[in-house]
Structures are given as C-alpha cells and as structure tokens.
C-alpha cells in the first residue's frame, strides 16, 4: 500500500486549473473517485489532507481547483474576491466544476462510472450546483456548505445528496435549510441533511476559533460528519 | 455467544408493566444498556426484534412497556386510546418511562452508568421527554418520533440527542423541527437531527405501505437510520 500524489493540469475554456490527485497504487485500478471542492481559500493543504484520507480509505481522490492554477486567498478580502465571480455567475460555477469532473473521468486510475463529489463551505455550494446541473455523479456531499439555490433552471437531480450542516451556521440559516429541502425534493433527489446543534460554520476546520463570528471548529461535529461522509461515499461508490 | 431473552415485570405507581430484556450472556457483564420505547401499538414484535439486534451488537436491550402488562393496540382507535392519557399528561409519560430506566438499572447484567434510550414514533416522543426531564442517560435517539415540546418546565438536557426524521412526516412538520431545534439548543443539549428527503412517517416499518396517509416504509432511510443509530449508541455507550 502506497499513496501516490500528483498535480494534474486541466482546463475550463482558456483557464488553466491544477488539481491534486492521489490514490493508493497498491489497489487494483480503476478505482471509484471522489472530487473534493475547496473553500473560498482555494485548493490548499486542508483539501489535500482530505484527499489523502480518502486515498487511504480506498478511493481515488481529486482535490479540484475552481480558481486557476496557483490562485489562493490569504485574507478575507482576497477570498471574497476569488469567489465573487462564481457567486454572481452560477452558470460559470457549474462549468468550472464540470471541467473537474471531466478531468477526473479521463484518468486511467479512475472508474468513470463511479464518481462522487464533496466540498466544504463555498465548495459545498459547488458540489450542490454540480448536482443541480443534473450531472451524472453518484453522490454529492456538502460540508458546512452554503445552501442557496442557484436560480438556474430546475433540473432533475440524479445524484444522491448529503448535507452536513451546523444548525447555527450564520451563512446557512434555517430559511436556507427549508428552501434547499424544498428544492431538493422538487428535483426528485434522494437527499439527506444532518444538522448538528449548537454548531456554527467551518466546524471541520481546526483553525476556525472565533465562535462569535460564526466560524468555529467543533470536534464532535467534525468526527460525526466524517463518519457520515465515509458511510455515504461507501453507499454510493462501492 | 447466546442471546438470552426474559420478560421482566416492573411497576410505576400501582401499574404493572412488563419489559422484554435480552442480552448476549457470552459477553462479560455488566453491559451498557439501551431502552427501546415502542410505538402506539405497545410493546410488540417490532421492538423485540430491535432488542435482539442490539443484543447481537453487544448491548443489553430492554424493550420497555408504557401501557401496562399485556396491553397492545390493534386498530387505530385502540392505539389512539392507549396513547391519549400520555399525550394529555406529559408528566405521567415522564414518570412512566423513568420507571423503565430505574428497572433496567437494577438488573445485574446492566452497567447502570451506561444507559441510553431509543424509541419509534410515540416512543420517540417518550425518549425525548426522558431527555427533557433532565434524566441522567448518556443518549436518546428518536426514530420518526413526534417532536412536540412537552410544555413542562425547561430543564438542562444532559443526554446527547439524535433525531432521525422523515422530512415529509406529516406528524412532525417543518415547524415542529424548528421548534425542537430551538428547544434543544436552549436546553444546552448536544443534539443532531438527520432529515431524510422524500420520506414520511414510519419509514422503518415494513408493514407501513400507505404513502398517501403519510406512513410508508423506506428501505434507504431504514438502513441509513439504523447505521446512524448504532454509531450514536457506540459513541455514547462504549
């Protein structure tokens, strides 16, 4: 068993993107694959760590890139600037994440029929939009994701959907939960939402420490959401 | 490994009750224990089956009795008559389920410090009321339970709480979900709610087949809720 890591360039239109791909090359390929969609900071160590964990678990994991090769945000201002074009143009967002799906399907180590996607915060929104686009992926999982509907024309949702949600997340208040539940049901999705009480945004991020700003790590929610995520991925990909 | 089953009489006030107790007597006692609270039909084969499954999993399981020895309902009218006194008098409900907790703690095979409770439908309400009473149980899990607050004075909730919920359950509509979330947070509970989309009441009951009445079995929700339940019990009892 050896985890192999690679950077992989791919494109959406004229934009060059760079994903982080890893898998256990001791396992017989092709492997079921999981796309991992990053937060507003860009494709960083946080999602690369998740990719390694999924590789140990037996999946091919691809930490995708929404922003462009090497683009990362370090301050709130930089991060806001990076996500703004996508928040304003959800069709662009959908094209960009679909490019990652196409890229991962083209890899020889990947079983193109068994692909799922997960994402954190802004990345949670991205994978929900992938499902909303009607993409043929087995499942999508949003972890403390933004839940706001895209406003794009409704499509039949073919992916199973799991939303792992801090109930006191100021970026996804109860009215957004009610709205997304309605939207997912109307789209015919097989959906689940796990809400964690007394839990705010960014509960899987150990560097989030400011509960008053609505962003704080929570060890129990981190552990429970990871368990639920693996269970979901095993259900949809094995 | 041999599962041992026993009927156990106990009392609440002058009412004689009869629980179904089972455990694996090949495992070293005392064992962590799980109370199982029945639906409005009374302590029937459905909860006894769950008790056996938990015994195989390594817990001592006690399918408790809310109604009185031998009392079971066979029709909607009979079942309604059986639960009505408890729905009208939630203090009676709390005393009745607390009697089961006391009984199971007195059993030599049980580790009195490691007790949790789970329940279905009306039984879900019962275990939530046990938590609401401030009882010192490690965790309570409601499966397609009624969620309505008890109206009794608020208490600090010491149990971890898991609610497994069909999002389209007509007996627990979105406004009840919002209300119970508020109540649990105010009580300081470590709570979670897993909502299953396009899923109605009684989703674990293979005999529930009338979706139009809002009661229908759902294989995916049954399987997912059982997984989440075992994970929760392992978390709180091991």
User: Where residue A63 falls among pLDDT bands split at 50, 70, 90?
Assistant: very high
Contact A161 B193 (CB under 8 A): no
Question: What pairing do the DSSP bridges indicate for beta strands B110-120 and B139-143?
Answer: parallel
Q: Whose CA is closest to A100, among A81, A119, A121, A78? A: A119
CA distances for B231 relative to A11, B29, B145, B197, B237, angstroms: 41, 21, 19, 21, 10
**Residue A120 in tokens:** 């954190």
Q: Whose CA is closest to B144, among B164, B118, B115? A: B164
pLDDT tens digits, one per residue of A74-120: 999 999 999 999 999 999 999 999 999 999 999 999 999 999 999 99
Segment A160-186 shows an average pLDDT of 97
Tally DSSP H helices, then E strands, for chain B: 6, 10
Residue B175: closest C-alpha in chain A: A178
User: What mean pLDDT is reported for chain A?
Assistant: 97
- B58 phi-psi bin (left φ>0, alpha ψ -120 to 50, beta other): left
For chain B, positions 147-166, list CB contacts with chain A under 8 A.
161
Contact B197 A191 (CB under 8 A): yes
User: What per-residue confidence (pLDDT) applies to A103?
Assistant: 98
Rounded to a whole number, what is the distance in Å from the CA of A190 to chain B's nearest CA?
6
Residue B221: closest C-alpha in chain A: A192
- Residues on chain B touching A166 (C-beta within 8 angstroms): none
The answer to whether residue A1 scores a pLDDT higher than 80 is: no
Least-confidence region, from A191-195, A207-211, B120-124? A207-211
Question: What percentage of chain A carries pLDDT values higher than 90?
Answer: 94
As a whole number of angstroms, the distance between CA B39 and CA B142 comes to 11
pLDDT tens digits, one per residue of A127-154: 999 999 999 999 999 999 999 988 888 8
Q: Work out the angle between the directed axes of helices A76-88 and A90-105 (0-180°, nearest 10).
A: 90
Q: For B193, which of A161, A195, A231 is closest by C-beta distance?
A: A195
Residue A174: closest C-alpha in chain B: B178
Residue A221: closest C-alpha in chain B: B192
Burial of A231 per CB tally in 10 Å (0-12, 13-18, 19+): middle
User: What per-residue confidence (pLDDT) applies to B151?
Assistant: 87
CA atoms within 13 Å, Cβ hemisphere of B236: 26
Segment B221-227 shows an average pLDDT of 98
The partner residues of B110 in beta bridges, in order of sequence, read B31
pLDDT tens digits, one per residue of B173-194: 999 999 999 999 999 999 999 9
User: What per-residue confidence (pLDDT) applies to B154?
Assistant: 86
Q: Does A181 touch chain B (CB under 8 A)?
A: yes
User: What per-residue confidence (pLDDT) applies to A12?
Assistant: 98
3 state SS of A101:
helix
Segment B31-56 shows an average pLDDT of 98
Chain centroid to Cα B149, Å, comes to: 16
As a whole number of angstroms, the distance between CA B224 and CA B194 comes to 10
**Residue B36 in tokens:** 């199982």
Task: For chain B, give the number of residues.
Answer: 238
Global ipTM: 0.94
Contact B197 A168 (CB under 8 A): no
pTM value surpassing 0.90: yes
The partner residues of B192 in beta bridges, in order of sequence, read A196, B162
Segment A155-178 shows an average pLDDT of 97
Contact B181 A189 (CB under 8 A): no
User: Where residue B210 falls among pLDDT bands split at 50, 70, 90?
Assistant: confident
3 state SS of A166:
strand
CB pairs under 8 A between A and B: 69
Buried b or exposed e, range A138-151, using 16+ CB within 10 angstroms: bbbbbbbbbbbbbe
User: Where residue A210 falls among pLDDT bands split at 50, 70, 90?
Assistant: confident
Q: Let me know: does A73 contact A41? Beta carbons within 8 Å.
A: yes
As a whole number of angstroms, the distance between CA B20 and CA B96 comes to 16
Segment A150-161 shows an average pLDDT of 93
């Amino acid at each position: 068993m050896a985890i192999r890591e690679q950077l992989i360039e791919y494109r959406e239109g004229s934009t060059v993107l760079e994903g982080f791909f890893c898998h256990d090359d001791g396992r017989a390929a092709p492997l079921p694959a999981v796309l991992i969609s990053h937060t507003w900071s860009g494709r960083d160590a946080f999602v690369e760590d998740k990719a390694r964990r999924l590789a140990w678990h037996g999946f091919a994991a691809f930490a995708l890139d929404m922003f462009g090769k090497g683009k990362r945000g370090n301050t709130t201002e930089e991060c806001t600037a990076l996500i703004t074009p996508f928040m304003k143009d959800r069709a662009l967002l959908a094209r960009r994440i679909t490019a990652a799906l196409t890229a991962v399907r083209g890899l020889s180590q990947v079983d193109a029929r068994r692909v799922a996607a997960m994402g954190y915060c802004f990345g949670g929104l991205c994978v929900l939009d992938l499902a909303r686009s009607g993409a043929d992926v087995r499942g999508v999982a949003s972890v403390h994701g933004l839940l706001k509907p895209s406003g794009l024309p409704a499509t039949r949702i073919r992916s199973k959907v799991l939303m792992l949600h801090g109930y006191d997340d100021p970026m996804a208040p109860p009215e957004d939960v009610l709205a997304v539940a309605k939207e997912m049901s109307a789209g015919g999705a097989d959906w689940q939402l796990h809400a964690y009480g007394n839990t705010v945004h960014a509960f899987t991020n150990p560097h989030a420490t400011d509960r008053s700003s609505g962003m704080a790590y929570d060890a129990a929610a981190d552990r429970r959401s990871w368990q639920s995520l693996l269970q979901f991925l095993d259900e949809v990909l094995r």
